[in-house]
A and B are shown apart, each in its own frame.
Chain A
Amino acid sequence: MSQHTLSVLVNNHPGLLSKVSGLFSRRSFNIDSLAVGICEIPDCSRMTIVVNGDEAMVDQVIKQLDKLIDVIEIEHLPVQHSVFREMVLAKVAVEASQRTELLQIAEIFRAKIVDVSLHHITLELTGQADKINGFLNLLEDFKILRIVRTGTIAVPRREES
């Protein structure tokens, strides 16, 4: 079992997301994350789907996705030759005594402070999933109020044709 990242170009139809997610659930494919947004092509969206499975399962995921008429193109992104990014917003309860320590952690990871009040700080961090996981591990000493992650998005490093 390992993680595979698929970049999927789709028609921007209402209902398309449920067709894709329905496909994953009914065929028992394990989905780690799915991020979707509009892209450079009008009326199309690009999905980044991270699946967890062996080669045979990923092969089936790709082929079954490809059968959906509204899926235009699927790319299995090579780990060594792609850029992967994810963003997290972490809202942490913090009293005056802990504030310095939290800000130090934020600085080490180059997390941004995007909201602050007397009793909490919200941090924004972008990076690969393992960096985000490391950051969140260090936050475990604090009282975490809310974690929101976008799921991974990715592009291949090669020249686009």
Chain B
Amino acid sequence: MQLSGAQAMVQALEQAGVTTLFGYPGAAIAPFYDALVDSNIQHVLTRNEQGAAHAASGYARARQVTGVCVVTSGPGATNAITGIATAYMDSIPLVIISGQVTTDLIGSDSFQEVDITGATSPFTKHNYLVRSARDLPRIFREAFYLAATGRPGPVLIDVPQDIQMDVFQYEDPGEVHLPGYRLVTDAQTEQLLAVKAHLESAKAPIICAGGGVLSSEASQALLELAESCQIPVVTTMMGISTIPYNHPLYLGTLGSHGLFAANYALNQADLVMLIGARVGNRAMGSAQEIARRARIVHIDIDPAEIGKNIKPHTAIVADAKSALTGLLALAPQMNTTEWMEKISAIKTSHRLPDQPAGPSTTIYPPTLMRILGDLAGPDALVTTEVGQNQIWVANHYPFTKPHTFITSGGMGTMGYGLPSSLGAKVGCPDRTVIAVSGDGSFQMSLQELGTIKQEKAAVKCVLLNNSRLGMVHEIQSIRYKRYSQVFLEENPDFGMLAAAYGFGYAKVQSNAQIEAAVRTMLDTPGPYLLECLIDPHEPTLYPVRKEVKG
């Protein structure tokens, strides 16, 4: 069968089961876009390539599949970089296809030429510059395999324009053969027995669950182990939604902006079992201190995470689900009654309020999050931006099902929430998708309102407006005692903006209005913007201010 490179690319996507692309055309990727006309694959035209990468990430996370984004050469590719790096830091499976200038022009600084494989090497799991159309079927098969297996991540394929046009005799590439890529997935019995011994000698154990628990679909196994051994659970930002928010064993999110009980338990534990968590500095700022005090068990699928940020006493390089299932089968015998009593008391006494302390003339974000969650139901998907809005969702939104929280954890990318909500809604049209943002971050990918309009994607945007960059403002007030460049006093009229893009709209500023407003938002067909005026001095750092790391 004779195929052009572009036809082979489309065919490879179809073979990989891809039904939706997010992208933006340009000259160097034009042959691919022409071939796409003959395919049933849906294409979502974003307003900026960064939005395409973020939307593909939101799609991937909502559906637990590999997201695909397509961009042109030069600025198209560089615009996608923030989205690629965001996906890399959070281990999200993406395949990014970039057009490249024709092979004869590579290296001559030609129009819209950029070395995107060089630029993205530090934050792609792997990348390819295609040198021959014949290689396309094999490279696409490898890329989808690499993106989704082991520790997931983004893989970029850079395809010169002439290679998209070359016609060649298609041959099926067969099985993936990558001798430099070894997958370790199953936990070894001796390692599991060592962990069992650690567990059984522990008096104050704690489980710290990260994003790896979600990506290996191990939430149920984690819950069963925690319950059968009565071990309290904390999560990292990426681990949120692994365990229901109201589970008696759940203490909340770790870290500088996490909950007191979670940090307290981590600091008092004699055994810390890290699962699919990479001990990032925002989650565990004092990892070395913790390792001196407690025994550390680290379970991760990526061998390089073992010993990188914390030196464990025992490590298992394995898929989280396999390790947790293996541990459950060994049925460790533990008695944590005394520890659980102590921790439960701390959890109760340091519970964050979800009602304001006194009469309020603004929206109290924790109340808003609780009502949103109660009315949207357990299946709703929630995306956030980065800043105070993210922290309020993390600490107060009542997540009860895995994979319902979509946020930029590692990179902390403002401008992620709106396009990722678009991707989530396109991927799961029957589920409610809520995009929580602040007035700063909402404006960072604002142009994607246009994509949402075009796709008729019924995303429900909840904008927390305090006319400033709230989190930086908060840090400046604590650490620097004065403010620098955090005020957004000339914000646009968000109501007019909503109207311009065909969104339903309401503005609320008292807690009494929240419930009716949220109901209206959820009941109104199509996209919606609910603007919530919040107190500019409302903090996100309640308990442990000394841990703030600017």
Contact = CB atoms under 8 A, between A and B. Distances in A.
Interface of A: 10-11, 14-15, 18-19, 22-23, 26, 56, 59-60, 63-64, 66-73
Given A18-B118, A18-B121, A26-B122, A71 B307 contact: no
B480 interface: no
A22 B126 contact: no
A60 B307 contact: yes
Interface string B290-315: 00000000000011101110010000
9 contacts: A11-B180, A14-B129, A18-B121, A22-B122, A23-B122, A59-B307, A63-B308, A69-B125, A73-B180
Contacts of B125: 69
A10 B179 CA distance: 10
A71 B179 CA distance: 9
B118 to A, nearest CB: 6
B336 to A, nearest CB: 32
A56 B121 contact: no
A19 B123 CA distance: 11
Interface in B103-125: 117-118, 121-122, 125
Given A14-B129, A56-B311, A72-B179, 17 more contacts: A10-B180, A11-B180, A15-B117, A22-B122, A23-B122, A56-B307, A59-B307, A63-B307, A63-B308, A67-B304, A68-B180, A69-B126, A69-B146, A69-B178, A69-B180, A69-B181, A70-B180
Contacts of A14: 129
A60 B304 contact: yes
B304 A72 contact: no
Nearest to A25: B122
Interface of B: 117-118, 121-122, 125-126, 129, 146, 178-181, 302-304, 306-308, 311
Contacts of A11: 180
The DSSP consensus for interface residues of chain A is helix
A71 B146 CA distance: 14
B304 A66 contact: yes
Contacts of B304: 60, 63-64, 66-67
Contacts, number: 43
The 7 closest A-B pairs by CB, nearest first: A63-B304, A72-B180, A69-B126, A72-B179, A63-B303, A19-B121, A69-B180
A17 to B, nearest CB: 11
B118 A60 contact: no
A105 to B, nearest CB: 45
Given A69-B146, A69-B178, A15 B308 contact: no
A60 B308 contact: yes
A59 B311 CA distance: 12
A116 B262 CA distance: 74
Contacts of B126: 68-69
Contact of A66 (B146, B303, B307, B311): B303
A60 B308 CA distance: 7
A66 B302 CA distance: 10
Contacts of B311: 56
Contacts of A15: 117-118, 121, 129
A67 B304 CA distance: 8
A60 B307 CA distance: 8
A71 B121 contact: no
B21 to A, nearest CB: 24
Nearest to B146: A69
A99 B129 CA distance: 54
A116 to B, nearest CB: 40
Residue among B146, B181, B306 with max Cβ neighbours from chain A (10 Å): B181
Residue among B125, B179, B180, B181 with max Cβ neighbours from chain A (10 Å): B180
Contacts of A69: 125-126, 146, 178, 180-181
Contacts of B121: 15, 18-19, 22
B106 to A, nearest CB: 11
A23 B124 CA distance: 12
Nearest to B151: A67
A44 to B, nearest CB: 10
A70 B311 CA distance: 28
A56 B307 CA distance: 7
Contacts of B129: 14-15
Contacts of A18: 118, 121
B176 to A, nearest CB: 11
Contacts of A22: 121-122
Contacts of B307: 56, 59-60, 63
B122 A67 contact: no
A89 to B, nearest CB: 30
Contact of B302 (A59, A67, A70): A67
Nearest to A9: B180
B180 A71 contact: yes
A22 B120 CA distance: 11
Contacts of A64: 304
A19 to B, nearest CB: 5
Contacts of A60: 304, 307-308
B537 to A, nearest CB: 39
Contacts of A73: 180
A11 to B, nearest CB: 7
Contacts of A68: 126, 180
A14 to B, nearest CB: 8
A81 B180 CA distance: 26
Nearest to A60: B308
Nearest to B150: A67
A1 B110 CA distance: 46
A18 B306 CA distance: 25
Residue among A14, A56, A67 with max Cβ neighbours from chain B (10 Å): A67
A9 to B, nearest CB: 9
Nearest to A11: B180
A11 B146 CA distance: 17
Nearest to A74: B180
A112 B118 CA distance: 41
Residue among A15, A64, A71 with max Cβ neighbours from chain B (10 Å): A15
Contacts of A63: 303-304, 306-308
